[in-house]
Amino acid sequence: MFETVHPKGRGPYSFQEVADAILEAAGPDPDGKAPISPSYIWQLRSGMKENPTRRHIALLAAFFDVSPLYFFEDTHELGVEQIELDRILQDPKVHALSRAATGLSDAALDAVLALVQSLHSIESGAHEKAPAAD
């Protein structure tokens, strides 16, 4: 989840960022404490803790904007794929391209895919520095 869901143009959220955002969204517990701590999130992620409470699952699911079912093994792989697809389609231009391609023939879709792959190759090459001229 951390590797898949994060702000565009940066790496994963820190455990502190997740805990702070959950506190801001959910508010403190009745005893005044944060509903989830950065160390507990780390323990879950590292496998030291394996059975989060229903409330913790709900809080983490809300933060990452996924169904709580994502956290159960039998739906995990499907969840990761769906999260990645949702993240990609949040880009309005990618979404528009996807919609525009709907209904094209298989041959046309193959041509569009080949063009996109060529553009990826060109752009990745453009980011590499050209050798200095003598």
> In the prediction, which pLDDT does 124 show?
83
Question: Are 46 and 68 within one domain?
Answer: yes
Question: Are 33 and 50 within one domain?
Answer: yes
Condensed to tens digits (0 to 9), the pLDDT of residues 21-43 reads 999 999 999 999 999 999 999 99
pTM of the model: 0.56
Condensed to tens digits (0 to 9), the pLDDT of residues 65-87 reads 887 877 776 655 656 677 677 77
Domain with residue 72: its CATH number is 1.10.260
Answer yes or no: is 5 within a domain: no
How many domains does the chain contain in total? 2
Which structural domain, as residue segments, surrounds residue 105?
92-126
Q: Report the distance separating Cα 52 and Cα 72, nearest Å.
A: 11
**Contact predicate 57/37, CB 8 Å:** no
**Dihedral sign, Cα of residue 23, residue 29, residue 31, residue 37:** negative
Answer yes or no: is 65 within a domain: yes
Answer yes or no: is 9 within a domain: no
Question: Are 44 and 70 within one domain?
Answer: yes
Q: Report the distance separating Cα 95 and Cα 49, nearest Å.
A: 38
Answer yes or no: is 85 within a domain: yes
Answer yes or no: is 110 within a domain: yes
Residue closest to 120 by CA, chosen among 82, 87, 94: 94
Answer yes or no: is 6 within a domain: no
Question: Are 26 and 63 within one domain?
Answer: yes
